[in-house]
Structure 1
Amino acid sequence: MSVPPPGLQAAQADAQALAPFTTWPDGTGGAALSQFQVAGMHCAACSGLIEAALLKLPGVAQASVNPASARLSLRWRPAQLALADVLAALRAIGYEVTPDVAAPARELRRRERRQALWRLFVAGFLMMQVMMLATPAYVAEAGELSADLDRLLRWGSWVLTLPVMAFAAGPFFSGAWRQLQARRLGMDVPVALGIAVTFVASTGALFDPAGLLGHEVYFDSLTMFVALLLLARWFELGARHRAAEALEAVAGALPGAAERLLDDGRSERVPPEALRVGDRIRVAAGEAFAADGQVLAGQGLVNEALLTGESAPVPKAPGDAVVAGSINLDGSLVVSVQRVGADTTAQGIVRLMQQAQSQRPLAGGVLDRVAARFTAVVLLLALGAGLAWWWIEPSRAVAVAVAVLIVTCPCALTLAAPAAWLTASGALARRGLLLADLSALERLCEVGTVVFDKTGTLSEDRLLLRRHWARGADADALLPVARSLAALSRHPHAQAIADGASAGNWHDVREVAGRGVEARDAAGQLWRLGAPGWVSASPDPEARLAFGPDGEACMLWLDLAEVTRADAAEAVAALQAQGLRVRLLSGDQPAAVARMADMLGMADWTAGATPASKLAAVRGWQADGERVLMVGDGINDAPVLAAADVRIAMGQGAMLARSAADALLVSNRLSALPLALALALRTRRVLRQNLAWSALYNLACVPLALAGLLPPLAAGIGMAASSLLVVLNAQRLAR
């Protein structure tokens, strides 16, 4: 037995260790694409810090962090860089990172959530105590509060503020320090500076009321500001964790073990990883399917919410496909395994969701750069305001500078895009449409033409016997004989005729490629089922198939029809109602295409199209100014999918078509398409609302802060409320 060389063994070992959270686009030993979960992120600027730190490491080709989902996608070469070095590099700049596999990621989120809750509790509880101590100074009439008691209450406020500064406000200071070390101006810089200046100024006023910093203290405003900020971040953290948990629900859908049937009639319990293509497994009621496959025996109802987002049970019978992670609700099913491990539909869904949640939208990167410049302007503006008020009224200079710093923090600005896009992608995923490229949401808004392939897209991948007739014989008597011969063939046309019939007493069965199937009956007579020109010397032009004995005049003619997807007509009508031009572009015969177009109410159709002519047609429409959404499934759709402005592939389509797509319709429900187009427009509206609110908030509050009319407490409430409003407004897209 040959032993692999040490280098190959090491590469195989690395691939095996990284397998739960890594794919190898270029094959094992090449560049790896790994997914990680990040803890400690508090703003969009953190994304840039993490990416910059990783890109300095040898072997890292690309790093992308989505600030809304806190998910890192890393393209790197494990042969040049160890995983431990990646984790150490990020730990060195203050971020905890774990491979995006269920157990470690759950533990990381649990720690992050627990620490965030403790910080919020400390800030909130002590804020209430500080407010209680500050209240007498606000409500007392002149002379009612003695100087000694007032000073004692202020000292008490200072003592209670110390844990807020040392513990609760820690993320703001550590985030600001990391950003300054990386020579970046993120949102934590003005926040931390505002907190620090407020505390120092208030402390100075407490220790020396007659000094340059005046006698006013802002411990109540400071603690409330920190508590409000932490509350807003708690809600943001919850939104990120819900997105991660939804992904894990898909990743963890596989059962812990499967019952594999052996050739000798026995069975054994094995882990899903041990299954191989061709194995037979038995799935009892209440169990999940461990692999993609086809039902061989049994009938039952299956919950396919994994694909469709709906829990309505789907009936399954022999010949029907089942997917890993779906649940058998009743009955016992025997399934032939067709796809296992990373090839299953469930794992494909996981990879697409990881890819989408790890992306930083192009608009998000632009906003990050705008926010960085905006922060620089804010710091200069706060410094100028402080100096100006120092000459006008020194006792108010610090308060004005702090209010400017706080009120102009661009949290809402940088959260606007990622919050909306991530929420919309999650809503589409629940409807069975998985985005591989988040920017497709933006491009969907510009679509004016929707182009459908026919076979496998508007129609299902099966045929139905539409009618049968005979020449020189009884058609109804010949049909059961034809069914029994068709049962011996796996060709889709034969399976449509067989319709579950049992094979007859045939021998010398032979399948002729491109022609059909032939066999001899008990009397030795040769019968054929297949192409009319092969079975009969004078074929009926209306028939798609023929059946009859060789050399005899009696003949059975059969016509097959494609089965239109249940919601195809509804989807086409909805798209047309949205004002879109809907076209049918197919390589099938004109009669079949015309029949399908007529059934679905599509006036614009093309038949007999080759891959090259499909591509030319789409490019011609684009040259006329149309923005094209292409929906297809087959290998011959890959070129035209790549050329379209937006590309959606059917979930059961060819891998080549899926790799060229912006989104994957895993539910195969076409009704998700008009919903996606409508949601894309809603997402753009919400994004614009978020940006408009951020701009309006700053335009209204900055002049007030500069004029000294906005105290630090009000500025803190406004800043925290604006961030919270942006996140909550984006959550409307989840409905």
Structure 2
Amino acid sequence: MSAPAVPAADPSLPARSGAPVGLTETQVAAVDAPSSLAVCTQWLEGPEGARTGRTRLLLGGIHCAACAGVIEGALLRVDGVRLAEVNGAAERAVVEWDPARTRVSTLIEAVRAAGYGAFPDTGAEAVALARRESRRAIWRLFVAAFCMMQVMMYATPAYVAEPGDISVDMVQLLRWASWVLSVPVVLFAAGPFFQGAWRALRERRIGMDVPVSLGIAVTFVASSAATFGGLQAASVFGREVYFDSLTMFVSFLLAARLLESRARARAAQSLDAVMRRLPDAVERLLADGRVERVPAAELVLGDVIRVHAGQAFAADGEVLDGRTQVDEAMLTGESRPVERGPGDAVSAGCLNLGSPVTLRVTQLGAQTRFQRIVALVERALTERPSFLVSVDRIAGPFLWAVLALALGAYVVWLQIEPARAIEVAVAVLIVTCPCALSLGAPVAWLAAAGNLARRGVLLQRLDALEALTRVRHVVFDKTGTLTEDRLALALAQPLSQPDRLDATRVRAIADALAARSRHPLARALSASADAHASAGLPALADLIEQAGAGLQARVDGRTWRLGSAAWCGADEAGVERPAVWLAMQGEGDAHGPGERWQPLVRFEFDETLRADAAAAVASLQAAGLRTLLLSGDQPAPVARMAAKLGLGGHRARCTPQDKLDAVAVLQAQGEAVAMVGDGINDAPVLARADVSIAMGSAAALAQARADVIVLSDRIGDLVVLHDTAVRTVRIVRQNLAWALLYNLVSVPLALVGWLPPWLAGLGMALSSLLVVLNGLRLARDRVRSTPAHPLPAQEAGAVREAALEQPAVMTATSGA
């Protein structure tokens, strides 16, 4: 089976004549090429075989929350677009579209026609776009800052000179010089503000660039009128010039936006890096011994490829030749490399840290674990939690109020002191821009999601972080959640002592029989045999295995059995744990009616508790959370597990409906509940819980219903998840409180004329920067690494960093 084919463009779509908006014919062909779509597009199967494309787009020119709404509106107006989700903080969009009605190039053109940049979301293009935008931003800041310094030099004499010290002609000359230097600031450096305002007004929206642009334009026009009219001329704009204030707050705003864009890039970096792991090309080994280099998108199942040290695996596969260490942190959150050799499975996106290996491709595309993780990351990068949607709704009316307030201040000051009316109105426009209100929360959410992703905890719903802070009950499933999916030997109980055989020899015979069976209990017994391996395993003769009963073989001239109580002639009354018995043939014919067996040892097994489960439960309880165990297992093992972990309560023999009812009862009491499960039978209760958490080894249905997936399978990461949620919501509230306090203090100061425009611009810039940096505190935590390494720590780290720094995915979208 090969990778899913990319649907060809519908020939009935309108032909393109000439260069379309924003793209040349060559760029259109590159963007719509199947090899390019394979990198940034996932194909979803619909009814009757119809397919829908789900494409990731990288956006440019986004500066505020209103920009995201403008882009969404432009995409949704394209015929064939079914869904468009834009996250301004991450500068990403996910678009679902019908390949029979539109193309990716048409989506890009629609965004560009709205005045923004748009590119297929590939690693190479992302790096190039970031470099281009950073270069342009630095040039604008340089022009604004250089002109500001010169204008301040020309404005200084007017501030320090006594009346009569400077002639009228000299004052007028200084104003003209300031005007000349302010023109490039307004026309070039402040261009993004005017472009953003125009885009918003054209879409009949009001964005944060509108009051900023209005303030810049009014200040420049008023100052120009005073300059051209001369010192004695009176006008509706007054006689004062504000070129120094104008150039200063443009410089401050550009500096703040440059820092904000880099901070937002850092916030999305951890999530973004997860999607950059696949190599752009791989070495495929042909049957005749030749080696060819092909794009990863051209691989098919069964291909044999070679992966060198420092490269990422392009597909899921089985190692055929070579041994190496693999970094699986993307899948498990575990920073320690793991050994992989012939016969072992490796996953797409993981890094080869040791030496070259050859593997056979077993899974491609959407069937790989990597692609499932990418889908989760896409959702995290584009989803806007309901909390943030509410903030965006507030921002629109708030901006209208700002404009009305500035107009009212201008009218009032015309009656009080006409010369200062423009200055006060501009200060009100600038200082009240709600950038801090709209930036602080999304950056904090992205930083938190990125930090969790580094630990192997992926959020499917960002709202889960806010909901987690309201949770008071954590409900656990037992098997596969608190325990691992394997059994361990808990007790070897001697029942009798045969003649001429010591306990070591008896155990060796049991181990020899267990090694020949694939039954879970036999495998658990065999896995515990390391301590007895030195005695050597005896040879078995006449081995038979009875399905549902056990094994029988001859050793040392006697017949032995390992299996169930009935098979070994034992009494299982009072045995509450899974068990197998070892029995030796007694008197009578082993194949006749007089058959009798002497049970020698009973091996009892118990579930293997996850190593960090007890500490994690204790930490959750210390955080004020109540814990409850709901299991379909028998009462005795459930009670033992609850006692061992110190759980607050437990219930056994629970059906899926019983679990659902138990959670519903807690919710009816007004309690928020988090459910942690892993099985298909947990899917209904996961869907019902306020926050649902599935383990990485969980069934696909359980993961589909979960808000959070713990890829690492570590219960301890639930503590990190809860702590991160509490910190995230706390920081978001701090940012909103700061934005509110800032406006409550600064607006009255601007209205009474105590806040000049340049200081208003500085205050707005610093306020926005403050909330962004506060949100980035969530990204500073690092995953704890384990010191022991199959590779030397420095060598493994160097290989990992070198691999991650290489541009990952990409194809022919250059210039798009």
Structure 2 residue 597 is the aligned partner of structure 1 residue 553: yes
For residues 270 and 509 of structure 1, the distance between their equivalents in structure 2, rounded to whole angstroms, comes to 51
The 10-residue stretch of structure 1 (660-669 or 521-530) with the greater mean CA deviation from structure 2: 521-530
The 10-residue stretch of structure 1 (434-443 or 211-220) with the greater mean CA deviation from structure 2: 211-220
Change (3 A) 1:289 1:723: same
For residues 303 and 708 of structure 2, the distance between their equivalents in structure 1, rounded to whole angstroms, comes to 31
Q: Which residue of 1 aligns with 2:97?
A: 76
Q: CA deviation at 1:77?
A: 1.9
Change (3 A) 1:381 1:168: same
The SS at the match of 2:597 is: coil
* Counterpart contact for 1:488–1:503, Cα < 8 Å: no
Unaligned runs of 5+ in 1: none
> Which one-letter code corresponds to 2:521 in the other structure?
H
* Counterpart contact for 1:469–1:475, Cα < 8 Å: no
Q: CA deviation at 1:589?
A: 2.5
> Which one-letter code corresponds to 1:445 in the other structure?
T
For residues 284 and 708 of structure 1, the distance between their equivalents in structure 2, rounded to whole angstroms, comes to 67
Matches within 5 A, 1:106-145: 106-145=127-166
Q: Which residue of 2 aligns with 1:465?
A: 489
Q: Which residue of 2 aligns with 1:654?
A: 699
Q: Which residue of 2 aligns with 1:101?
A: 122
The SS at the match of 1:31 is: strand
Q: Which residue of 2 aligns with 1:496?
A: 524
Which string of whole-angstrom CA distances, capped at 9 and with x for unpartnered residues, describes residues 592-616 of structure 1? 2222222212241122222222112
Q: Which residue of 2 aligns with 1:424?
A: 448
Which string of whole-angstrom CA distances, capped at 9 and with x for unpartnered residues, describes residues 452-510 of structure 1? 11122111222222232454555543444444444444444333223288997677766
Structure 2 residue 249 is the aligned partner of structure 1 residue 225: yes
* Counterpart contact for 2:542–2:553, Cα < 8 Å: yes
The 10-residue stretch of structure 1 (550-559 or 523-532) with the greater mean CA deviation from structure 2: 523-532
Task: Tell me the percent identity.
Answer: 54
The 10-residue stretch of structure 1 (386-395 or 492-501) with the greater mean CA deviation from structure 2: 492-501
* Counterpart contact for 1:297–1:317, Cα < 8 Å: yes
Matches within 5 A, 1:143-154: 143-154=164-175
> Which one-letter code corresponds to 1:446 in the other structure?
R
Structure 2 residue 705 is the aligned partner of structure 1 residue 686: no
Q: Which residue of 2 aligns with 1:367?
A: 391
Which string of whole-angstrom CA distances, capped at 9 and with x for unpartnered residues, describes residues 302-353 of structure 1? 5433245553445679998754444455588898876544333333322212
* Counterpart contact for 2:271–2:449, Cα < 8 Å: no
* Counterpart contact for 1:298–1:317, Cα < 8 Å: yes
* Counterpart contact for 1:518–1:526, Cα < 8 Å: no
* Counterpart contact for 1:131–1:220, Cα < 8 Å: yes
Which string of whole-angstrom CA distances, capped at 9 and with x for unpartnered residues, describes residues 613-656 of structure 1? 21122112222222111111121211111111101111121111
For residues 6 and 73 of structure 1, the distance between their equivalents in structure 2, rounded to whole angstroms, comes to 18
The SS at the match of 2:746 is: helix
Q: CA deviation at 1:59?
A: 2.2
For residues 446 and 377 of structure 2, the distance between their equivalents in structure 1, rounded to whole angstroms, comes to 10
The SS at the match of 1:215 is: coil
The SS at the match of 2:255 is: helix
* Counterpart contact for 1:247–1:350, Cα < 8 Å: no
* Counterpart contact for 2:9–2:99, Cα < 8 Å: no
The SS at the match of 2:258 is: helix
> Which one-letter code corresponds to 1:545 in the other structure?
V
* Counterpart contact for 2:494–2:602, Cα < 8 Å: yes
For residues 26 and 164 of structure 1, the distance between their equivalents in structure 2, rounded to whole angstroms, comes to 52
For residues 360 and 403 of structure 2, the distance between their equivalents in structure 1, rounded to whole angstroms, comes to 66
Q: Which residue of 2 aligns with 1:64?
A: 85
Tell me the TM-score normalized by structure 1: 0.89
Which string of whole-angstrom CA distances, capped at 9 and with x for unpartnered residues, describes residues 164-206 of structure 1? 1111111110110111111111111111000000000011111
RMSD: 3.7
Which string of whole-angstrom CA distances, capped at 9 and with x for unpartnered residues, describes residues 233-277 of structure 1? 112211232244433432333457778999999999987667777
Change (3 A) 1:204 1:357: same
Structure 2 residue 316 is the aligned partner of structure 1 residue 305: no
For residues 14 and 658 of structure 1, the distance between their equivalents in structure 2, rounded to whole angstroms, comes to 33
Structure 2 residue 796 is the aligned partner of structure 1 residue 728: no
Q: 2:38 aligns with which of 7, 10, 19?
A: 19
Matches within 5 A, 1:303-702: 303-307=327-331, 309=333, 311-314=335-338, 323-327=347-351, 329=353, 339-471=363-495, 473=498, 476-499=504-527, 512=547, 515=548, 518=551, 529-533=562-566, 536=569, 538-539=571-572, 541-542=574-575, 544-548=579-583, 553-555=597-599, 556-702=601-747
Tell me the TM-score normalized by structure 2: 0.81
For residues 642 and 290 of structure 2, the distance between their equivalents in structure 1, rounded to whole angstroms, comes to 51
Q: CA deviation at 1:214?
A: 2.9
The 10-residue stretch of structure 1 (54-63 or 441-450) with the greater mean CA deviation from structure 2: 54-63
For residues 673 and 187 of structure 1, the distance between their equivalents in structure 2, rounded to whole angstroms, comes to 38
Equivalent residue pairs, number: 729
The SS at the match of 1:465 is: strand
* Counterpart contact for 1:67–1:360, Cα < 8 Å: no
> Which one-letter code corresponds to 1:69 in the other structure?
A
Q: CA deviation at 1:565?
A: 1.5
Q: Which has the higher contact order (CA 8 A, sep 6+)?
A: 2
The SS at the match of 2:428 is: helix
Q: Which residue of 2 aligns with 1:211?
A: 234
Q: CA deviation at 1:729?
A: 1.5
The 10-residue stretch of structure 1 (491-500 or 364-373) with the greater mean CA deviation from structure 2: 491-500
> Which one-letter code corresponds to 1:660 in the other structure?
R
Change (3 A) 1:597 1:15: farther
Q: CA deviation at 1:701?
A: 1.7
The 10-residue stretch of structure 1 (80-89 or 266-275) with the greater mean CA deviation from structure 2: 266-275
* Counterpart contact for 1:291–1:337, Cα < 8 Å: yes
Unaligned runs of 5+ in 2: 12-31, 585-589, 781-816
For residues 286 and 211 of structure 2, the distance between their equivalents in structure 1, rounded to whole angstroms, comes to 67
Change (3 A) 1:14 1:657: farther
Which string of whole-angstrom CA distances, capped at 9 and with x for unpartnered residues, describes residues 151-176 of structure 1? 22222221111111111111110110
For residues 519 and 271 of structure 1, the distance between their equivalents in structure 2, rounded to whole angstroms, comes to 54
> Which one-letter code corresponds to 1:564 in the other structure?
L
Which string of whole-angstrom CA distances, capped at 9 and with x for unpartnered residues, describes residues 24-47 of structure 1? 444573333322111011110011
Q: 2:262 aligns with which of 238, 242, 245?
A: 238
Change (3 A) 1:323 1:82: closer
The SS at the match of 2:51 is: coil
* Counterpart contact for 2:380–2:459, Cα < 8 Å: yes
The 10-residue stretch of structure 1 (257-266 or 129-138) with the greater mean CA deviation from structure 2: 257-266
* Counterpart contact for 1:641–1:660, Cα < 8 Å: yes
Structure 2 residue 273 is the aligned partner of structure 1 residue 249: yes
Q: Which residue of 2 aligns with 1:178?
A: 199
For residues 596 and 274 of structure 1, the distance between their equivalents in structure 2, rounded to whole angstroms, comes to 50
For residues 645 and 289 of structure 2, the distance between their equivalents in structure 1, rounded to whole angstroms, comes to 49
Q: CA deviation at 1:722?
A: 1.2
The SS at the match of 1:566 is: coil
The SS at the match of 1:132 is: helix
> Which one-letter code corresponds to 1:241 in the other structure?
A
For residues 18 and 333 of structure 1, the distance between their equivalents in structure 2, rounded to whole angstroms, comes to 29
